[in-house]
Amino acid sequence: MIRLLLADDQALVRGALVALLGLEPDLEIVAEAERGDVVVELALETRPDVALLDVEMPGRDGIAVTAQLRAALPSCRVLVVTTFGRPGYLKRAMAAGASGFVVKDTPARQLAEAVRRVHDGQRVVDPALAAESLASGDNPLSARESDVLRAAQRGTSVAEIAAALFLSEGTVRNYLSSAIGKTAARSRAEAVRIAEENGWLLS
């Protein structure tokens, strides 16, 4: 039996994955989590062979959890299963030690096969996303530019962004201008959208 841990903050999605994968004769769900910050402790208690992790979860995102889980329990392989098939997420997940990356609309049979392949030591990546990732290139934004765009996601003013990040308003404007240029956007809102779509704003 391949022992699985599932982590997804959406109860409906998590329940569907448990039900579908539970139908496979060689797969056993040994733990479920709805938050990222409980995954490592849960994995150490239950010793899964494969962890299926969402990217965007409360407490800690799935990419940060991947790195921590691989360090704490190297025998557990990670398959990222996410709604957000963004090239930036794929690159960061694989760099963090994930063995696979698929989107949630993957058919149940293919998902089960992906679990088996990851368990066997193979890498599994959604082909369309892999091609898009190669075409998109690396994240052009600096850490501070990402911080400023992340703060700008909420539609806050330059003054509010400056106060939140302990920067001057002039410095915030400079970072925004630089980020707009690097993303080839026409506005702050478009720069945020482009960065989000490429998965460059995950903290």
Q: What is the DSSP string of 170-182?
A: HHHHHHHHHHHHH
Using the predicted structure, report yes or no on whether residue 133 has a pLDDT greater than 80: no
- Dihedral of the alpha carbons of 153, 154, 156, 160, in degrees to the nearest 10: -90
Confidence band (pLDDT; 50, 70, 90) for 78? very high
Q: Is 188 helix (H, G, I), strand (E, B) or coil?
A: helix
What is residue 38's DSSP assignment? G
Beta-bridge mates of residue 168: none
Angle between helices 11-22 and 108-119 in degrees, nearest 10 = 80
Q: Average the pLDDT over 71-84 and give the result.
A: 92
Angle between helices 169-182 and 188-197 in degrees, nearest 10 = 60
Q: Average the pLDDT over 127-139 and give the result.
A: 62
What percentage of residues in the chain have a pLDDT greater than 70?
Answer: 92
pTM for the whole structure? 0.68
CA proximity to 94, closest of 119, 113, 72, 77: 77
What pLDDT does residue 50 have?
98
Report whether 55 contacts 101 (CB < 8 A). no
pLDDT in tens, 145-197: 989 998 998 878 999 999 999 999 999 998 998 888 888 888 898 889 888 87
Q: Quote the longest CA-to-CA distance of the chain.
A: 61
Q: How far is CA 80 from CA 7, 172, 203, in A?
A: 10, 34, 17
Burial of 6 (0-12, 13-18, 19+ CB in 10 A): buried
Using the predicted structure, report yes or no on whether residue 75 has a pLDDT greater than 90: yes
Both structure tokens of 88: 């930036």
What pLDDT does residue 4 have?
97
